[in-house]
Chain A
Amino acid sequence: MKPSKPASPGRLLTQVAGERRTGALVVGGHPGGTVYLVEGTVSYAESVAAPGVGELLTASGRLAGRTWQAALDAGTSRAQVGPLLLEQGHLTQGELELCVLGALYDAAYFALSPASAPADFLDGAGHWIGPVIRVDAAAVNREVRRRGRLLDEIFPDARVDVAPVNPVPRPPLQRVTLTALQWELLVHCDGQRTPADLAQLLGRAGYATIQELRRLAALGLIEQPAVRDRTTDKPDFVRLPRTTGTAVDVRRPALPVDGPTVPVHGGSAIARLPAVSGDPPRQSPEPDPSNANGTTFRSPRLSRRKPGAKLPKDVLAAEPPPRTGTDEVLLKRIRTALRALR
């Protein structure tokens, strides 16, 4: 493996495709990504800013999380996940090809669009999805450039693509018409989630997400990152998440808890958590319902008592409960500060 050096990922792709090589072109930077080649043709691509085949299929409910996980477990080691899903009849050939093709071009945009980024070529590396489709590298490069131009025609500010999304408090329009995806984005943005977070959360294509965000920016419905950075870019003051941002958490319906609602020992919150959940693994572990400032504290539920009766002994002994809210605020502040530095 060569040491990574800044280069044009697109040009590097043309080069390795011209040499008909097999392996993975790993592009660093932000968001970065990886393009997989087989004998000079592109077989798959992935990027953190673009949901992969698994996220697309499970977030839409097309495949159950466990079906996907089972295919991963069985097919990852021999790079046959895609063919395995076909063999087992979970997907049709057409579905799989369209899904992989969409994910490929989507991720390729994020990996290849930077003019310069640290890039490596790992010889011989393959992707676990296996042989599904092959795309000409020149076509991928051409499409990446075309997509970049399309975005700039909508709203020529690339910072919209990476900055955390913040809705404006008052729209500069009297009547707002949204597409379905724009609505999803506005409902789920909270001043913390970046476009990549939103795409992964909603299982929507990364490019479609930033395209709609550029449209929203052009309409003046989301705050422009530049304005926000200038006003709050002070070293000792970090903007906290907006309290008006009432972003909805995407959650799959939780399983009913059949354990006791009254904690039996020590008021431990863990005792009330469902032991098994069918959620896919990418669900973020943020069960804390406290608000942005971490001020609300939900005390453990108590059983009904007679008027004047004392609190149960174990609940009294457990006071005061650890206030985890402060840590969370601190972590959020650090995260916001780190984002501002980038």
Chain B
Amino acid sequence: MAIPGAFGAGIVDYTTGFPIASAGSAPNADHDAAAAGTADVVQAANSRSLFVSGVPHDLLEDLIITTAGGYHLLRLVPTDFDSRLVLWVWLDRIHGNLAVARRRMQTLADQLVAR
């Protein structure tokens, strides 16, 4: 895995919580639950005024959830056509580097659709 300290990762359709692809391990060893949870968090962030900006084009980019043992990074994948995809990575708090992981995820999300 390209991101140091990552336990697992996946791509989720956040309208439905459908795991399109996943790799490595998921929290509680359940990729489906991880996908459904990811979708719930993104939906919540997308529909609450606290996280949704009224400034045009100030769109939600990523969400970082921190636990004592790790980080969960959720990054929205921008596509030109209509889709609602989010990339998630579960990161070890000791071995992972949040800043590096965030950068890598941005490139990864862009590469997913870029040429």
Chain A interface residues (CB < 8 Å from chain B): 51, 56-57, 59-62, 89, 92, 94-95, 98-99, 101-102, 105, 143, 146-147, 150, 177, 179, 203-205, 207-208, 211
Contacts and interface: CB of A to CB of B under 8 A. Distances in A.
B111 A143 contact: no
A94 B113 contact: yes
B53 interface: no
B85 A205 contact: no
Nearest to B112: A94
A205 B82 contact: yes
A57 B16 CA distance: 21
Contacts of B47: 177, 179
A146 B15 CA distance: 12
B113 A92 contact: yes
Contact of A61 (B16, B80, B115): B80
B15 A211 contact: yes
A99 B20 CA distance: 12
Contacts of A92: 113-115
A207 B49 contact: no
A60 B81 contact: yes
29 contacts: A57-B80, A57-B81, A59-B82, A60-B80, A60-B81, A60-B82, A61-B80, A62-B80, A92-B115, A94-B111, A94-B112, A94-B113, A98-B20, A98-B79, A98-B85, A99-B83, A102-B82, A102-B83, A105-B16, A105-B18, A143-B18, A146-B16, A146-B17, A147-B16, A177-B47, A177-B49, A203-B82, A207-B16, A208-B82
A56 B49 CA distance: 29
A207 B82 CA distance: 12
B46 interface: yes
B92 interface: no
A10 B113 CA distance: 32
Q: Chain A at the B interface: mostly helix, strand, loop or mixed? A: helix
Nearest to A202: B82
B104 interface: no
Contacts of A211: 15
Contacts, number: 64
Contact of B13 (A56, A57, A60, A102): A102
A101 B79 CA distance: 13
B103 interface: no
B88 to A, nearest CB: 16
Contacts of B82: 51, 56, 59-60, 102, 203-205, 208
Contacts of B15: 205, 207-208, 211
Contacts of A150: 16-17
A103 to B, nearest CB: 9
A98 B16 contact: no
Contacts of A101: 20
B49 A98 contact: no
A56 B16 contact: no
Interface string B84-115: 11000000000000000000000000011111
Contacts of B83: 98-99, 102, 205
A177 B54 CA distance: 12
Contacts of B13: 102, 105
Interface string B52-94: 0000000000000000000000000001111111000000000
A152 B12 CA distance: 21
A60 B79 CA distance: 10
Contacts of A179: 46-47
B112 A98 contact: yes
Contacts of B115: 89, 92
A204 B47 CA distance: 18
Given A205-B15, A211-B15, 19 more contacts: A56-B81, A57-B81, A60-B81, A92-B113, A98-B113, A99-B83, A102-B82, A102-B83, A105-B13, A105-B18, A143-B16, A143-B18, A150-B16, A177-B49, A179-B47, A203-B81, A204-B82, A205-B83, A207-B15
Contacts of A177: 47, 49
A92 B18 CA distance: 22
A62 B20 contact: no
